[in-house]
Structures are given as structure tokens and as C-alpha cells.
Structure 1
Amino acid sequence: MSRAFVKEPDGLAAFEELPERLISDNPNLVTDEGLRQIEDEVARLSRAYADAQASGDRAALNVAARDLRYWTQRRATAELVPAPSDRDEVRFGARVALVRADGRRQSFRIVGEDEADPARGTLSYVSPLARALLGKGVGDTARVGGGDVEIVAIE
């Protein structure tokens, strides 16, 4: 029989098991908010997994199972870092206001990898910008991406 007449599964149904989501080799540092986000995601995915099982939706089951394994692992390895008590230098969990060489002012909170979203003002502690800022104080500069940034506030 010609392969042209054989119905191939399409989309996610084509995979018996999806490839695992990659887990970073960096320590899984999290803020209070980041830990809550992980716990919320585990709860949401647990419900999605149960719903997919009940409905017999194999594609949804595969996605939920894979993502649940990822977030369960992230929860197990989460290292809660308390908010910094002083504002003398940039630390994990601090909000940093900076001015770029072109005059743009930006503000980022240094957070864990899973909670980082630069468009929402959060930056992973392993990002090049965060690495350049960590340990520096107000008035210090850092070289990032071919330009300098100056720290104008630490909150």
C-alpha cells in the first residue's frame, strides 16, 4: 500500500512522548513570587493532566505530563532567597534603576530564571545584564552589550 493513503498523526498526537523541557544547570534561585508561580503552575498542570486523562486526550496528556515533570522538578530544586534587607548593592531580588548611554532609563528586578520576563521588568540573575550589575552600587557603571549603564537606584 502506498504511504500516500496512510493517515499519519499530526500535531502533538504524532509524538508518543514529547522531548523533555531542558532544565538549567544554574542553581534554581527563586523569590517569594517565583516560588508561588511555580506552585501555581504545578497545581494548574495537575488539573490539566487529570482532565486530559478523563477525556482520553493523548496529546494534551503528553503535554501536561511533560510540563508537570518540569515544574515538579523546578519546585523540588527551588532555593528561596529572601528579599534583600539592604540597598547598598545590587543583589538577587532587588529592583535596579539604570540609565543607558543613550539616556534611556530602565528598571529591572533581578529574579530566578523561570520568573524572568524583561518586558514585565524582571530579569534572570544569569542574564548578562544582571551579572554585570550584581554586587555594584548606586553610581557604579557596568559595560553591557557594547555600551555602559549607570546604576541610579536600588530598591
Structure 2
Amino acid sequence: MSRAFVNEDNAAAQADQPVERQVSAQPNYVTLSGFVQLQARVAELQALHGQQAARGELADKQRIADIERDLRYFNQRLQSAQVITPTSVDQVRIGHWVSFVDEHNHEQRVQLVGEDQADAANGLINWGSPLGGALLGARVGDEVIWERPVGNLAIEVVAIDLG
């Protein structure tokens, strides 16, 4: 057989393999609800894998490969998770809800969470993001700079609470 055909076969086999999900280098701090979400995601993926495996020869091989990739990622995230449970509200920590106002008197309320739990549309902000980094460690009355791609914004912390 020609080497060209062997190489094409290898390339086709590699193209079917899903690209591994990148794991962040930052510590995997999570809230308790973020930890529960990780556990639920792993259980969901395990169930999906079992359903596909039960189909035997009719199983979707690409779907199985995608599920296995996601299982590797979420199992690793679950194993490395460090649950943070804030108690005092003297300064912003992971898990806290934070209200702040910007220089235009626009008020926002967000919760600092782990990266797998982050959902900006619902006010859940990754603690390692530019906004999370600006708020982390701040106290009520502190003015911090939120470094944004569209320009820096001065914001003032007006409240910190547990939820």
C-alpha cells in the first residue's frame, strides 16, 4: 500500500478524535453550588456514556468520543475542586455577592464563582476574570479599577453579602 494512503487513513482517524478541553492553570476554587454542579455534570455524562455503550454496534462513535473527552475534563475539574465557603463579609471573597457602582452611578450585583460556574448573563463572575480580580479583596467603600478591553472603569464596592 502506498504511504500516501496510510497517511490519509491516519489523518482521517485523527480528525475524528475530539480536541481535548483545555484546563485552566488557575486554582480551581468553587462555591458549594459550583461543586454540586460539577458532580451533576459528571453523573450526567456517565449516564450518557452508558446509554451510548448500551447501543453496542449502533452507538455513535463520535458522540462517545466527545462524551469521554468531556468526562476526562469534568472528572479532572471535580478532583481539583477546592470548595470555598465564605463566612464574614468584611472583604470580597469567592462566593460573595457584591454590589458596586461605576462612575456613571450604574449599579450592578454579581457573585464571584469558579470558572466552570461562571455565567455573566446571570451575574456569576469568574473570580479570575478582570472584574473578579478587581473586586477580590475589596471592602465596602473601596474604589477599584476594572481593567476592560474597552477601557478601564472605576467602580466602588457598596455592599458585600452571602446571598
The aligned residue for residue 73 of structure 1 is: 76
TM-score by length of 2: 0.83
Q: Distance in 1 between matches of 2:24 and 2:37?
A: 17
Q: Residue 64 in 1 paired to residue 74 in 2?
A: no
Give 5+ residue unaligned stretches, structure 1.
Answer: 1-12
Aligned partner letter, 2:159: A
Note if 1:100 corresponds to 2:106. no
> 1:97 Cα shift?
0.2
Q: Unaligned 5+ residue runs, structure 2?
A: 1-12
Structure 1 length-normalised TM: 0.87
Q: Does 1:148 align with 2:154?
A: yes
1:129 to 122, 126, 131: 131
**Deviation of 1:48 (Å):** 0.8
1:106 alignment partner, SS class: strand
Give the partner amino acid of 2:120: P
RMSD, aligned CA: 1.4
Distance (whole Å) between structure 1 residues aligned to residue 89 and residue 75 of structure 2: 33
Give 1:33 shift.
0.2
Shift of 1:14: 8.3
Give, in whole Å, the separation in 2 of the partners of 1:87 and 1:54.
50
- Count of residue correspondences: 142
CA distance in 2, matches of 1:65, 1:87: 40
Secondary structure of residue in 1 paired with 2:16 = coil
**Which amino acid in the other structure matches residue 42 of structure 1?**
V
Residue 16 of structure 1: CA displacement?
Answer: 3.0
In the alignment, the residues of structure 1 paired with residue 22 and residue 64 of structure 2 have an alpha-carbon distance, to the nearest angstrom, of 19
Give every structure 1 segment of 4 or more consecutive aligned residues whose post-TM-superposition deviation is greater than 4 Å: none
Distance 1:59 1:102 in 2: 50
Question: What secondary structure does 1:110 align onto?
Answer: strand
Matched, 1:21 2:21: yes
Could you tell me which residue of structure 2 aligns to residue 89 of structure 1? 91
Deviation at 1:15, TM superposition (A): 3.7
